Structure 1
Amino acid sequence: MTNNRIAHRLAAAAALAAALSVGAVPTALADGRTARPGALSHHAHADKAVKADLPPGDEGGWHGDGLSLNAADNKKVDRFLARARSAERTVSPEMQAVARISHANLIGFDHRLKSPDSLKRKVATALKEAPGQSVDTALSRISDSVRYTFQWTDGSYSRGVAIASSALALWGNDSVKWSNTWGRKHGYKGINSAWRDPGSGHVFEVQFHTPSSKWAQEATHKLYEEQRLPSTSPERARELQEQQDAIFASVPVPEGAEQLGAPAQTRPTDAQTLPAPVDRPAAA
């Protein structure tokens, strides 16, 4: 089954690349056996960093920024992080191939794994905002434990998004979220999407940006983080939102960006088997 999946992905990538005249996609990137130079060493570094970043908790729990997780919930988040690391090893080579096919810059690739502190803060915030919610429910709504950002110039953006999202769908990834905010008058601009990897079932995030929208996202990140803290007053939260709106208002909207939608799901069919041999009469 795994070999069939790899063969289908290679065939889909080759067909799409040929249609777009971008050249063949390297097998090493498409089948996930190898990645760009330094990728393996980064995997090892990422695993080490995840373990090193685990904050000390009381009796196995986690505490930070006025938030907390008990020992049982913290253990579940750690298991979720382990699954995210495992899925990333398969998904990342695909993202590199998609970036090449669509002529995108793969921004922030070294930060494709969400840090333990960041993820635990996000889960703890969700539990605080919905007291009756279980940690399993909160984790099921996390889509950015593994995340990627594709970036194109304004003039190449709409075509690039269409090609990249089509390639993701052709390779069997399920589109589970598509948030296009280019048409908003206020706030964040860009496309945030989430996909379910067909092999691991893990959900990962893909953002589609221009240089301006990516700059605005980074410029507003600390404002957004402060706005989300339980200790932030409603007055301060409104002030922070106004500052973010002012920054995003300066971002140009690429032509056609407002109309970009999620691609139709196109699953590769199973490999066809050869027909059974026809019985022939024995030679006289």
Structure 2
Amino acid sequence: MSGQTGAWEGEGYSLSPEQNRVVTERWERAAAARDRMDAMMKDVQQETAQSHGGELQGLEYSLKDVDSFRRKAATALEEHDIPVEKTARKVNDLNRYTLTFEPDSYTEGVEQTYERLRESGYEPTAEKNTWQDPVYKGVNTTWQHTESEEKFELQFHTPDSFKAKMENHELYEISRGNEINELAAGDKRLAKSYLDAANHLQNERYKNVKVPPGQERIGEQKIWAKLDPDVPREHVELIRQKEAEKLAENAVKAQAKAAAKAQAEQALLGLDGPGLGETQGLRNRLATKPPAEEPRQKTTAPRIDPVPAHSQSRGPVVR
């Protein structure tokens, strides 16, 4: 793939042929490592399932979509002047996994996973515990092999916190993208209020999520967001509407990509003779590249109740 890459454009962003080559080659290394990492995480899951009920979630999405990575690199370049070479070097979630444990066995299950990964030659390079954060609850870690540059992201959730995270996906996209600034037409105070509204909606889905006992033993405790109790109701309703629009937009994109993937696979299956060998590389990539969006059922957007007073500052959202 990397030998044939040209310029790339998507969602208002672009990469030159050379920039796209750098990004694509980094993605291809992650794709080559996927089968080995998948097998390792399946082994970890089996061991933790027997002792603590661990479950591996979304294994079919363990490799980040290549166009999502290109968009990430292009966004970092355009909005923060970060060279694509640095993004390619620093990225840690091209290979990514999620383990869930029930609250009462969560902490011990995470600790057992740490032991198992260290036995396999990996060490954590980042550990963010956001169980006290109002808009994202869980533990996000990055692991790197001690004898190579191979690394991956591993999130630890309970079933309920994972469900809330997935249901908040559109709100997360709205919060981290340009939509809030565009909606506010450059008004920074209005943009902050819209962001506070998105935080309230995300928080609603975490209100009944149980915090696992003993989780404070894991990683570095972080609180990225604080809720503003004075966010106007009309701003909450506007962001609720934008969430619904984003959900519909993502569903259309997922259907289109799934249809394109199915069409490409069907075309490959129709080939025979010498031409089939020439397309083997493409066949392998299709086998490793998942759809960009995970299909799921969306619950009705939550109702916002009054919340107690908090500080009105806002930190970066981390996923």
TM interval, short-chain normalised = 0.5 to 0.7
2:124 pairs with one of 152, 157, 175: 175
Pick closer, same or farther for the CA change 1:145–1:236 going to 2, 3 Å.
same
CA shift for structure 1 position 198: 4.2
Pick closer, same or farther for the CA change 1:66–1:236 going to 2, 3 Å.
farther
- Is 1:82 the counterpart of 2:28? The answer is yes
CA shift for structure 1 position 174: 2.1
Distance 1:161 1:259 in 2: 10
1:151-170 correspondence to structure 2 within 5 Å: 151-170=100-119
1:226 pairs with one of 174, 179, 183: 174
Q: Which amino acid aligns with 1:182?
A: W
May I ask how many residue pairs the two structures share in their alignment?
A: 204
**Larger-gyration structure (1/2):** 1
Distance 2:179 2:161 in 1: 28
Tell me what 2:38 maps to.
92
* Superimposed CA distance per residue, residues 55-95 of structure 1 (whole angstroms, 9 cap, x where no aligned partner): xxxx9222222222222111111101110011222222111
Distance 1:239 1:60 in 2: 40
CA shift for structure 1 position 230: 2.4
1:141 pairs with one of 90, 103, 125: 90
Structure 2 unaligned residues grouped into runs of 5+:
182-190, 221-319
CA shift for structure 1 position 247: 2.0
Is the CA contact (8 Å cut-off) linking 1:173 and 1:197 kept in structure 2?
yes
Q: Which amino acid aligns with 1:87?
A: A
Is the CA contact (8 Å cut-off) linking 1:197 and 1:204 kept in structure 2?
no
- Is 1:241 the counterpart of 2:199? The answer is yes
CA shift for structure 1 position 136: 1.2
Tell me what 1:128 maps to.
78
Is the CA contact (8 Å cut-off) linking 1:183 and 1:258 kept in structure 2?
no
CA shift for structure 1 position 148: 0.7
3-state DSSP class of the match of 1:232?
helix
How many percent identity over aligned positions? 33
1:240-259 correspondence to structure 2 within 5 Å: 240-259=198-217
1:213 pairs with one of 136, 153, 161: 161
Distance 2:12 2:198 in 1: 20
Distance 1:195 1:161 in 2: 14
CA shift for structure 1 position 194: 0.6
Distance 1:109 1:96 in 2: 9
Is the CA contact (8 Å cut-off) linking 1:77 and 1:139 kept in structure 2?
yes
Structure 1 unaligned residues grouped into runs of 5+:
1-50, 263-284
CA shift for structure 1 position 199: 5.7
Tell me what 2:188 maps to.
none
Distance 1:147 1:134 in 2: 23
CA shift for structure 1 position 124: 1.7
Distance 1:63 1:242 in 2: 34
3-state DSSP class of the match of 1:196?
strand
3-state DSSP class of the match of 1:252?
coil
Distance 2:74 2:100 in 1: 31
Tell me what 1:41 maps to.
none
Is the CA contact (8 Å cut-off) linking 1:107 and 1:151 kept in structure 2?
yes
CA shift for structure 1 position 110: 0.7
User: TM-score with structure 1 length normalisation?
Assistant: 0.67
CA shift for structure 1 position 156: 1.4
* Superimposed CA distance per residue, residues 106-162 of structure 1 (whole angstroms, 9 cap, x where no aligned partner): 11001100001211122222222312x211111222111000111111121111001
* Superimposed CA distance per residue, residues 185-241 of structure 1 (whole angstroms, 9 cap, x where no aligned partner): x22100111111346522201111101110011011111112222243225333222
Is the CA contact (8 Å cut-off) linking 1:181 and 1:258 kept in structure 2?
no
Distance 1:141 1:220 in 2: 26
3-state DSSP class of the match of 1:158?
helix
Distance 2:158 2:33 in 1: 27
Distance 1:163 1:198 in 2: 19
2:55 pairs with one of 105, 125, 129: 105
Distance 1:259 1:107 in 2: 23
Query: Which stretches of structure 1, 4 residues or longer, exceed 6 Å deviation after superposition?
Result: none
3-state DSSP class of the match of 2:155?
strand
3-state DSSP class of the match of 1:113?
coil
Tell me what 2:137 maps to.
189
